[in-house]
Structure 1
Amino acid sequence: MTVTAAETVRAIRAAPAGPRVGAFFDLDGTLVHGHTAGAVYRDRIRRGDIGPGELARVLLAMIDGGVLGGDPQAIGRAGFAALRGRTVAELSGLAERLFAERIAGTIRPEARDLVRAHLRQGHTVAVASSATRLQIEPVARDLGIPHLVCTELEQRDGVLTGRSTTGLLWGERKARAVRGFARATGIDLRKSFGYANGLEDLAFLGSVGRPYPSNPDPVLRHAAEEHAWPVLTLREPRSPGLWAGLGTLSALAGVNAALTAGVVYGRLTGDRQGGINVGIGLSADLGLALAGVRLNVTGAENLDKVRPAVFVANHQSTLDAVVLGALLRHDFTAVAKREARFDPRMAVISAFLDPAWIDRSDRASARHTLDRALDRIRAGTSILVLPEGTRMPTPALGRFKKGAFHLALQAGVPIVPIVLRNTGELAWRRSLIVHPGTVDVAVLDPVPTGDWTVRDLDDRIATLRDRFAGTLANWPAEVAA
């Protein structure tokens, strides 16, 4: 029997709540598409940080243990030995960089939904993997998973010894570790969930009462049929294709043509702002249509309820700019970091909107820029700010900077929160390609700032960020359903 992520989420919601129910997720091939170790080795090869001898030993161990049915622990021993003398701090930094650059974009979107559903139920959620803590921690933190059952590396004074304190948690060894974790934390495995994709996890899946082979390899799929386990199919992260590339090129051409039409309209009518408004709305609509992107907006009435206003949105993708243009449409500009001024993808839109470019490295300059933005608000122009300050590699929220909230406080205008759910899925942070699909948007009720003070600003910002996080975790359409 094959089940979807939506059906599995319903099963999770129907399961007993509380920490005695466990939810154990394999990492490679389950939470993420592909193998995190592969990203590490590709990066080391690219930087010339791995010699031919080490690479040959690791490859031979992988072939023997993973393909020829030899000792899987040999893979671990070869990998552990290669790390001898490296510091934990150094490898933690490498793991964070690789997560942002390569691994974040491989997290399966529907796996995120499953994790969120278990956390809502108060289940004890853990990553159970043969990968090391250093590999797993960035992914687990992003997904909000608090527990790790994983291969642990031996260290002395922050330096790796080239050995493991657990051995490689592969096959039965991983299953024993999960059972041990369950005993230590009071989890009832008979009521617990397990997710994995490879035959090596047959013993692990057999340890829980509710196993879900997830995008399984052919051998595990056959075993699942024999055990009458539901086979879970998770949607893969999007990868560039010909049609997406052509759609992106068409969208760029359409945006530029529409902006040009707006300029022409403004000159013919003598109404520059009217031309800008025409160009913004037309270019955003045309760009999204040609890229095959549709908008599913909740709370659209809040976009024009109060103007001028400071609109704040979370930031996952270059696609955000076009989506937000389609939403706001008229009489607005933006505050953006100075570095984005030199992004060729933003050049035409930036020239059209005339954003307030803020130099975060120069406090006096940043203050002057915000003062100019304040003057524009008082003249009737709304301001769009992305308070995270940079594109986030995943839907997880970054820290909110204060600039947008100072503006709203000083101008005495409301803040209108715009929550973007999945622009990063259609156009990942580092991708130049936009994939067709539907972007979910929630425009929340305007937040009055008349009674705000500088003293309570931090608390106000934290409360608003919590609203963003709560909306992402409990999306309006899902709550209504």
Structure 2
Amino acid sequence: MSHTLSEVTDVVRTGDAGPRVGAFFDLDGTLVHGYTADSIYRDRIRRGDIGAREFARIIVAAVDGTLLGGDPPALGAIGFAALRGRTVGAVTETGERLFAERIAGTMRPEARDLVRAHLRRGHTVVVASSATRMQIAPVARDLGIAHIVCTELEEEDGVLTGRSTAGMLWGEPKAKAVRAFALAHDIDLERSYAYANGPEDIAFLSSVGHPYALNPHPDLCRAAGELGWPVLTLREPRTPDLRAFLGTVGGLIGVNAGLATGVTIGWLTGDRRLGLNAGVGLAADLALALTGVRLNVVGEENLDRARPAVFIANHQSTLDVPVLAALLRHDFTAVAKQEARLDPRMAVIGAVLDPVWIDRSDLAKAKQSLDGVAERLRAGVSILILPEGTRMPTPTLGRFKKGAFHIARQAGVPIVPIVLRNTGELAWRRSLLVNPGTVDVAVLDPIPTDGWTADDLDDRIAEVRQQVAATLEDWPA
């Protein structure tokens, strides 16, 4: 009994609301594709932190637990033992780093939509997993999930002992822990939902009235058929292939060809601005066409309603650059961090656009650079700024820095937010390759800055950020 995401979210939307309804999500293979432990072991191997003896034990335990029907928690015990003597703080930092470097890129995009559907109904949403808190916490926080049921690591005075507190939550122990959580939080399990992918979670899924086998292992798929459970298949994170490689190479060639054409036009006509406008638009169009990226834009009329303006956008991907260039097209430049000058992908673009480079390590120089931007605005040149200051690992917004808002207030020009929905799906922040697909864009109404003061700037920034977040949360038709 296969169901689509829209069918399941409709069930959630029309079903019971309130905190007495639980929504329990497994982590590995459910919220994320694959296993978060893989990222931990890859990192340890890369750092030379696994000796030959431990590596052999890991291989034996993995084969025994997955292929020979042995004891899967034995592999976890080996991993816990390797953490003995490490502080809780250090392990937490490792979990955050691995989330940003790798795990965030394995999160299923549609799982975010499913979690959001439950949160909107006021359900008590929980990640319930045999994984440890260091693996789960960054994912849960990014999804807005407040509760975690997991394998807890034993500690003494902030130092890990190399053991778990009550064994690994695998199979029936996980189901028991979920039932205990439900009892403690007054959750009605009969009205609750659970999502998991593996046969070890049959007991867990059986604990609730609305179980879903999500992207299930064949054994769970068979069990779901026998038990009459619905099967939900979510879209996997995109993995670059040969098409992505060839498209990306073509896109880079297109950028250079477009900008070179613009430089030539400027030289032949003696009008640098004319050449720049022609070259940027052509470069962006060629880059997107050759990588197979299409744009679906809502609010396109807002791009030219109030120029010059300070355009801001959320930032997930290198793909943001050609997308934004294709939207803005003419009479604009950008403000970028000084470190980006060293990125070879920015070399040609930087030479042609003449962006304002900000040295974030020197506040005095940074302020001086930002003050000079106002002069460009008064000359009719719009400014593009990415206020998060760096590419975020997921669609969840980062903190907005003040620079863009300070510039707009100082120059007396409006702010125009551009919301990019899914560039990170086509080209994750740590990927050099772009997958073909459609990018959803919403250009919001220009926001006047008349009457803004230095005293209320923080409140204004929070309002704009909330507007962007609300658009990502509830995408306009």
By the TM > 0.5 criterion, same fold? yes
Aligned-pair distance for 1:347?
A: 1.2
Is this contact kept in 2: 1:76–1:167, CA < 8 A?
no
Q: Matched residues in 2 for 1:372 and 1:254: separation? A: 32
Counterparts of 1:462-477 in structure 2 under 5 Å?
462-477=462-477
Aligned-pair distance for 1:71?
A: 3.0
1:402–1:426 distance in 2 versus 1, CA, 3 Å: same
Matched, 1:294 2:287: no
Q: Over residues 173-218 of structure 1, what are the superposed CA-to-partner deviations in whole Å (9 max), with x where a residue is unaligned?
A: 1011111111111111111111111100111111111111111111
Question: What percentage of residue pairs aligned between the two structures are identical?
Answer: 71
Q: Matched residues in 1 for 2:167 and 2:446: separation? A: 54
Which residue of 2 is the match for residue 456 of structure 1? 456
Matched, 1:110 2:110: yes
SS at match of 2:150: strand
Aligned-pair distance for 1:469?
A: 1.0
Aligned-pair distance for 1:67?
A: 2.9
Q: Matched residues in 2 for 1:154 and 1:162: separation? A: 7
TM-score for the superposition, normalised by structure 1: 0.97
Q: Matched residues in 2 for 1:339 and 1:74: separation? A: 45
Aligned-pair distance for 1:274?
A: 1.1
Counterparts of 1:150-189 in structure 2 under 5 Å?
150-189=150-189
Which residue of 1 is the match for residue 360 of structure 2? 360
Q: Matched residues in 1 for 2:235 and 2:82: separation? A: 35
Q: Matched residues in 2 for 1:287 and 1:78: separation? A: 48
Matched, 1:410 2:410: yes
Which residue of 2 is the match for residue 27 of structure 1? 27
Aligned-pair distance for 1:382?
A: 0.6
TM-score for the superposition, normalised by structure 2: 0.98
Q: Matched residues in 2 for 1:7 and 1:80: separation? A: 40
Aligned-pair distance for 1:446?
A: 0.9
Which residue of 1 is the match for residue 338 of structure 2? 338
Q: Matched residues in 2 for 1:73 and 1:332: separation? A: 57
Is this contact kept in 2: 1:150–1:169, CA < 8 A?
yes
Q: Matched residues in 1 for 2:421 and 2:3: separation? A: 24
Which residue of 1 is the match for residue 83 of structure 2? 83
Q: Matched residues in 2 for 1:361 and 1:76: separation? A: 42
Partner AA of 1:126 in structure 2:
V
Aligned length: 477
Q: Matched residues in 1 for 2:90 and 2:40: separation? A: 13
Aligned-pair distance for 1:61?
A: 2.7
Aligned-pair distance for 1:371?
A: 1.6
Aligned-pair distance for 1:240?
A: 1.3
Q: Which moved more, 1:165-174 or 1:265-274?
A: 265-274
4+ residue segments displaced more than 4 Å: none
Q: Over residues 225-253 of structure 1, what are the superposed CA-to-partner deviations in whole Å (9 max), with x where a residue is unaligned?
A: 11121111111111110111111111111
Q: Matched residues in 1 for 2:262 and 2:79: separation? A: 59
Q: Matched residues in 2 for 1:62 and 1:393: separation? A: 30
Matched, 1:305 2:322: no
Q: Over residues 344-374 of structure 1, what are the superposed CA-to-partner deviations in whole Å (9 max), with x where a residue is unaligned?
A: 1111111111000000001121112112211
Q: Matched residues in 1 for 2:217 and 2:62: separation? A: 18
Partner AA of 1:420 in structure 2:
L
Q: Matched residues in 1 for 2:175 and 2:359: separation? A: 52
Which residue of 2 is the match for residue 9 of structure 1? 9
Counterparts of 1:325-404 in structure 2 under 5 Å?
325-404=325-404
Is this contact kept in 2: 1:84–1:161, CA < 8 A?
yes
Aligned-pair distance for 1:74?
A: 2.5
Which residue of 2 is the match for residue 226 of structure 1? 226
Aligned-pair distance for 1:48?
A: 0.6
Which residue of 2 is the match for residue 251 of structure 1? 251
Partner AA of 2:229 in structure 1:
W
